[in-house]
Structure 1
Amino acid sequence: MRANYIEDFDTWAEAFKFSAPLTVRFSDIDLYGIVNNAITISYMEFARIEYFKHIGLMSDWMNPKGEKIPVVADVQCDYVKPITYDENLDIFVKSNSIRNSSVDLHYMAKNGNGEIVFTGRGTLVQINRKSGKGTPWSEKEKSLFVG
């Protein structure tokens, strides 16, 4: 397995500290009995939101009067093994790099046997709700990604 965002796989995989458990729903599979390729992006979204709740960012973004919101700028998924109905997955998330108003997130999903079923990455940008322009991370917000 070789994705262009992974230099040393073992070092990359060992750096994940957070994961969110998920069980594959019947509605996630296609007529071939495997998870539809578009569904893995929603799995990444689920884990990303759980990660942001865990580090303490979601409450600010969910405030209807808040000025900042997150948007996904890009996403990439690399499929490793088929995923089937009722499998239990752990979707791992970590921040790979933090820039002025964006963060590059990496993902790794493992099945119940500990096998990697997909990896991925995506850029999330924090923007101003009214202007739509990037809003820099505060020092506190940056520290949440590192912790």
Structure 2
Amino acid sequence: MPVTSKIRVRYAETDQMGVVYYANYFVWFEIGRVEVLRSVGLSYDQMEKDHKLILPVVDASCRYKSPAKYDEEILIETRPALLRGSVIKFAYRIYRDADQDGAERKLLAEGETVHVVCDEKFERQPLPDSYVAALRNLME
């Protein structure tokens, strides 16, 4: 079920050796989360405006397997992994896309982020029913 997003590594995301700086994987995780919501017709913006809710990250991890490099096409696979009360966990896998020379797709990193649904005062709130239903549907 994962939702897949495709990006190309930009020069600004790399160090002098052309290798992606480790913190950029967390930026890619965010791209994946946004696309998961978009894939079910929802958005962060809608949640913030219509429901006055935010999803702060309370835990994040990434395990690096192989370096991503400048100008490579990267696949970001994202799925909701846990939905319990006001807690949402997303799981990610970052792959180097297969190339024209026949090289297979390769796992570069995998990770998770945990979010707590909060109001603007950072007090826990329930996730709106429409979001719960959409995310649960993706988890099946």
TM-score, shorter chain, exceeding 0.5: yes
TM-score by length of 2: 0.85
In the other structure, the counterpart of 2:58 is 73
Contact 1:61/1:70 (<8 A) preserved: no
Correspondences of 1:50-69 after superposition (within 5 Å): 50-58=35-43, 59-63=45-49, 66-69=51-54
- For residue 46 of structure 1, report the CA deviation from its aligned partner: 1.3
Asked if 1:82 is matched to 2:73, the reply is no
CA distance in 2, matches of 1:88, 1:41: 17
CA distance in 2, matches of 1:62, 1:132: 13
Matched, 1:137 2:137: no
Question: 1:45: how far off?
Answer: 1.0
Identical-pair percentage: 21
Write the distance in 1 (CA, Å) between the matches of 2:9 and 2:110. 17
Matched, 1:43 2:28: yes
Match of 2:102 in 1: none
Gapped regions of structure 1 (runs ≥ 5):
1-15
Report the Cα distance in structure 2 between the residues aligned to 1:41 and 1:143, rounded to whole angstroms.
Answer: 26
Q: Secondary structure, in 3 states, of the residue corresponding to 2:37?
A: helix
Amino acid at match of 2:16: L
Counterparts of 1:76 and 1:61, CA distance in 2: 25
Matches within 5 A, 1:19-38: 19-38=4-23
> For residue 111 of structure 2, what is the aligned residue in structure 1?
120
Amino acid at match of 1:140: S
- State the 1:62 CA deviation: 4.2
Number of equivalences = 130
Cα distance in 2 between the residues matched to 1:38 and 1:17: 22
Aligned to 1:48, the other structure's residue is in SS state: helix
Q: 1:99 aligns with which of 80, 84, 104?
A: 84
Cα distance in 2, alignment partners of residues 69 and 138 from structure 1: 12
Instruction: Please give the secondary structure, in 2, of the residue aligned with 1:85.
Output: coil
The one-letter amino acid paired with 2:74 is L
Residues 3, 32 of structure 2: 8 Å contact kept = no
CA shift, 1:146, in A, is: 1.9
| Kept in 2: contact 1:34–1:84 (CA 8 A) | yes
